[in-house]
Amino acid sequence: MITLLYGSDEFRSWERLIALKEEFFKKNASDANSTVFDFGGNDKLSLNKIRSDIFSSGLFSSKKMIIFKNALIHSDKDFQDGLSVVLEEKFLSEDTDIIFWEKSEPKRRDKLFRTLSKIGKLERFDRFSEAGLLKWVEKRAEERGSKISRSALEKLVSFVGDDLQKMSNEIEKLVNFSPKKEIKVEDVDLFVRSKIESNIFETIEALSSRNKNRALKLFYGQLENGDDPFYILSMYIYQFRNLLKIGSFYFKGINDKNIITRETKLHPFVVQKGLSQLRGSSFIDLKKIYRQLESLDEKSKTGEEKIEEALEKFIIKF
């Protein structure tokens, strides 16, 4: 059997390759082996070596899987013509599974693609439409034993987009942390912050540990990415407001995460992170910082201060 996996969705085509490989070894557990030819490397692969591997019979194994990675997009015409001849000789054999995996779209007019179209099975993986992505995410969560509400589903997709590798990681995290295996919108808000929110969270952590250089680097990176400075400020205020809520217990000697979670109505994860950020601070300092942010917010909205310069000054003087 000869299979070509290709298309713009590298994540799903790669998962399909792994599934086919697992299926092959499960079916031929005791008498199988595999070989990978990776055309993305710097070494030029020998057609004679490939031909020898395809037609050779193993001493102890009768079933073989040969995987070609990026053979269509990283090999020249002469090589593709020669490999096409080899494949046409071999494709009727039942003792060898041959898989071509391409990380992007190959040229359809090339000899090798036309040969594979004729003698092999083609599986194309295109990037999802919005509706397709929503359906895939929902199914992915269900496969991992969790339901996801429609509002959570839509917010998750708006945060992550169609980066399926990142999306897969976020789904795993949500499934592991969401209670009762039901992902709700508040879980997404908490665990799957958009890029800007994630950077802001890191900035607060850097400020809490008195690492001004890192805080400034994160802030400048947000501005370079075109993030709205007024939104950045609003998130600073939001984060320090939560720290004040947690600090009202912490600075009274109450360190029990469960008590603070119950009284503040904050998520346990937020409380745990907040407790770690409050070490080395004082409640007086915390209130002072919060008042500075509120003043900064008012002055920037009335035009007394430029928001970018005010935020920079706040971090430097922290």
DSSP assignment string, 152-219: HHHHHHHHHTT-HHHHHHHHHHHHHHSGGGEE-HHHHHHHS--HHHHHHHHHHHHHHTT-HHHHHHHH
Amino acid, res. 283? F
For each of the domains in the chain, give its residue range(s) and CATH number, in order of start: 2-124 (3.40.50.300), 130-191 (1.10.8.60), 195-316 (1.20.272.10)
The β-bridge partners of 33 are 64
Q: Are 74 and 44 in contact (CB under 8 A)?
A: no
* Residue with the larger pLDDT of the pair 238 and 6: 6
280: left (phi over 0), alpha (psi -120 to 50) or beta: left
Helices 307-316, 229-250: crossing angle, 10 deg rounding? 40
Radius of gyration (Cα) for the chain, nearest Å? 28
Summarize the confidence of residues 223-247 as an average pLDDT. 88
Alpha carbon of 128 to those of 9, 123, 131, 143, 154: distances in Å? 8, 15, 8, 19, 15
Strand order in the sheet with 32-38: 32-38, 63-69, 96-101, 2-6, 121-124
Alpha-carbon gap, residue 140 to 163, rounded angstroms: 14
What average pLDDT does the chain have? 86
pLDDT of residue 15: 95
User: What are the angstrom distances between the C-alpha of 22 and each of 10, 15, 230?
Assistant: 18, 11, 50
Residue/partner pairs of 160-165 with CB below 8 Å, 24 or more apart: 160/192, 162/127, 162/128, 162/133, 164/9, 164/11, 164/12, 164/136, 165/11
Rounded Cα distance between 226 and 296, Å, is: 20
Q: Place 239 in a pLDDT band, splitting at 50, 70 and 90.
A: confident
Express each pLDDT in 264-279 by its tens digit: 988 777 888 889 889 8
Single out the residue of 298, 283, 317 nearest to residue 234, CA to CA.
298
Q: Which pLDDT score, from 0 to 100, does residue 61 have?
A: 55
Nearest to 85 by CA among 119, 56, 109: 119
Q: Rounded to whole angstroms, how far apart are CA atoms 233 and 299? A: 12
Mean pLDDT of 19-28: 90
Beta strands 2-6 and 121-124, pairing class: parallel
Q: Which residue has the tokens 């407790």?
A: 275
Q: The pTM is what?
A: 0.62
The yes-or-no verdict on residue 59 having pLDDT over 70 is no
Confidence of residue 245 (pLDDT cuts 50, 70, 90): very high
d(CA 41, CA 69): 10
pLDDT tens-digit series, residues 212-234? 899 999 999 888 877 788 888 88
In the chain, how long is the greatest CA-to-CA distance? 82
248 has a pLDDT exceeding 90? yes
30-to-23, 60, 66, 99 alpha-carbon distances in Å: 13, 9, 17, 21
How far from chain centre, in Å, is Cα 180? 24
Instruction: Look at residues 296, 11, 49, 59 and name the one whose alpha carbon lies nearest to residue 167.
Output: 11
